[in-house]
Amino acid sequence: MRRIAIACVLVVSSVALARVHPRFEPTDLELETSGVMELDAQLGIVRGPNASRIVAPDLELDLGLLENVELDLDGAFAIEGAGDTRLFDHRAVDNSWASVKLGLYDSHGADHSWALGVQVGPKLPFATGAHGIGVEGLVLLAQMTGPLHLVLGAGGLVDPHDGSSPRPVGLEAGLDLEYEIVPDRWSFLGELGGVWYHSNDDPQLSVTAGLQYSPTSTLDLSIVVLGGFLAGSDPFGVLFGISPKFTLW
């Protein structure tokens, strides 16, 4: 069962006092079959460090190219308020991440399995005021025992320039969890992830939890809640997700 990559993607806001960056999303290591495309979309509302946002939507597109090779594209669009106001009066667009996910190794036992992979690619300057190309990369280690699926990810990022100095540079790590309550139908989802910036940016630490319902093998529906604990994190949010699959060839 394809797990929807939970969570709320947070959008960059133009705040003079501090730069706000998207939350690092721990990801899975499930690769789409060649010719199969999955579109993950999340809609909802998030309270950020400086303003509330209607996330409409957070999008992730996954396309299987070859065996153990997948092309991913992540991006987000939101309507945001200014400061503490509840009025949603301007757009906020996140930089996009175009990446290749590679499965490097897997081992299957009687009741458990392991897998190793990487995900790497450029960060594209779609946010307001951003220019130049950045980069982000992760090493992914997955372990599955019965209904429990765990993926540990660690890596780093260099974001596009946003008019401030120095350029945002950080280390990131997180844990992605899925527990199948009813196989191929109901799952509990959870994430723990954070970013420490070498540049002058606030660190992040966030946790998400939610439920996923899969009415068919090609459709996942989810609801997740978000909580943040450090200065650069969004304090809370609620999002609804839909994730259909399509066979292109």
Residue 118 within any structural domain of the chain: yes
- pLDDT score at 82: 62
User: 248: buried, middle or exposed (CB in 10 Å: 19+, 13-18, 0-12)?
Assistant: exposed
Which residues, 6+ apart, have CB-to-CB distance to 106 below 8 Å? 113, 114, 115, 116
Stronger pLDDT, 25 or 133, i.e. the higher one: 133
- pLDDT score at 93: 84
State pTM to two decimals.
0.87
Residue 147 within any structural domain of the chain: yes
- pLDDT score at 54: 78
Residue 64 within any structural domain of the chain: yes
Q: Which two tokens stand for residue 42?
A: 């999340």
- pLDDT score at 4: 38
Q: Which two tokens stand for residue 21?
A: 């960056």
Assign 88 a pLDDT band (cuts: 50, 70, 90). low
Question: Alpha-carbon torsion 47, 52, 54, 57, what sign?
Answer: negative
- Which residues does residue 25 pair with via DSSP β-bridges, in sequence order? none
Residue 222 within any structural domain of the chain: yes
CB contact at 8 A, 125 and 98: no
Residue 7 within any structural domain of the chain: no
CA distance 26 to 47: 20
Residue 14 within any structural domain of the chain: no
Residues of the domain holding 196: 36-247
Q: In the chain, how many domains are there?
A: 1
Residue 1 within any structural domain of the chain: no
The answer, yes or no, to whether residue 74 has pLDDT greater than 80, is yes
Residue 52 within any structural domain of the chain: yes
Share of the chain above pLDDT 90, in %: 65
For the segment 110-157, what is each residue's pLDDT rounded down to a tens digit?
A: 788 999 999 999 999 998 889 999 999 999 999 999 999 999 999 999
- Return the CATH number at 211: 2.40.160.40
